[in-house]
């Protein structure tokens, strides 16, 4: 079984994917971490605000598992940089095969795979067995991200978080390559007024 989960920033897609992976014994890949990993490498190797597409693509090819476990991966400036590098075609190309191989060759003890991101159902895995697209009002998503940062002991301002999410959504939706949009066969889940358990329960009803 191969499941694609896409959605807007902080819509709950990562949480949904993780929970479905546990429930159905699937290998899970958070593809946002790949773009965040490239962003971190760039933030550390270049002071330049203008990202060079060549440098970004070569950093994408050098990505390691250590990068994907870096504690700075989910900082707000990493998020903003991730959505900038994600609009560079050579970066997306460099990360494409890894994602498709992950989905098609889960470890032997797993019964399939689940990937979450922005273009999983449309570009990476157009033949996925099930596709979900998560969304919720921006205020709700901003509040969730704010609570997440505060609970990790980081300082955060709600207005800045909201503006950052809106800017990323706009950039992700309007880029010419692999824009954020639901696949035509995606099941839409509005996670806004649901608890995590309710969201997971609803998704499971479409799978079994
Ligand atoms: O967790 P959150 O929804 O805030 O973000 P994420 O899923 O970690 O993704 C970070 C950024 O990476 C997004 O804003 C996108 O620009 C980019 N991304 C992408 O373009 N394609 C993907 N498959 C996953 C992430």
Instruction: Report residue 31 as tokens.
Output: 């593809």
Residue identifier of the C-alpha nearest atom 9 of ligand 1: 32
Query: Which pLDDT score, from 0 to 100, does residue 19 have?
Result: 98
Q: Which CATH class is domain 2-200?
A: alpha beta
Query: Which pLDDT score, from 0 to 100, does residue 152 have?
Result: 87
Distance (Å) from CA 70 to ligand 1 centroid: 16
Residue identifier of the C-alpha nearest atom 6 of ligand 1: 32
CB burial class (10 A; 0-12, 13-18, 19+) of residue 140? Answer: middle
Query: Which pLDDT score, from 0 to 100, does residue 28 have?
Result: 98
CA 167 – CA 203 distance, rounded (Å): 28
Residue identifier of the C-alpha nearest atom 20 of ligand 1: 86
Atom of ligand 1 lying closest to residue 79 CA: 10
Count CB-CB contacts under 10 A for residue 50: 6
Residue identifier of the C-alpha nearest atom 14 of ligand 1: 83
- Each of the 208 residues of the chain gets a pLDDT tens digit; together they read 999 999 999 999 999 999 999 999 999 999 999 999 999 999 998 777 778 999 999 999 999 999 999 999 988 889 999 999 999 999 999 999 999 999 999 999 999 999 999 999 999 999 999 999 999 999 999 999 999 989 988 888 999 999 999 999 999 999 999 999 999 999 999 999 999 999 999 999 999 7
Query: Which pLDDT score, from 0 to 100, does residue 208 have?
Result: 78
Q: Among 95, 91, 92, 76, which Cα is nearest to 167's?
A: 76
Q: Please give all residues whose beta carbon lies within 6 A of any atom in ligand 1, as ranges.
A: 9-10, 14, 31-32, 35-36, 79, 82-83, 86, 117-119, 168, 172
């Amino acid at each position: 079984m191969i499941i694609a989960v896409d959605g807007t920033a902080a819509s709950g897609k990562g949480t949904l994917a993780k929970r479905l992976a546990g429930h159905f014994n699937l290998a899970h890949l958070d593809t946002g971490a790949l773009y965040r990993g490239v962003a971190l490498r760039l933030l550390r190797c270049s002071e330049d605000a203008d990202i060079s597409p060549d440098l970004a693509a070569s950093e994408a090819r050098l990505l390691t598992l250590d990068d994907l476990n870096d504690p700075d991966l989910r900082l707000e400036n990493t998020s903003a940089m991730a959505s900038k590098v994600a609009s560079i075609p050579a970066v997306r190309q460099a990360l494409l095969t890894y994602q498709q191989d992950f989905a098609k060759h889960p470890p032997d003890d797993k019964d399939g795979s689940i990937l979450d991101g922005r273009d999983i159902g449309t570009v990476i895995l157009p033949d996925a067995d099930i596709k979900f697209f998560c969304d919720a009002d921006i205020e709700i998503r901003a509040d969730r991200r704010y609570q997440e940062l505060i609970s990790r002991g980081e300082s955060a301002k709600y207005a800045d978080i909201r503006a950052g999410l809106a800017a990323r959504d706009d950039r992700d939706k309007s880029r010419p390559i692999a824009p954020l949009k639901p696949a035509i066969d995606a099941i839409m889940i509005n996670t806004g007024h649901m608890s995590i358990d309710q969201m997971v329960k609803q998704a499971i009803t479409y799978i079994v």
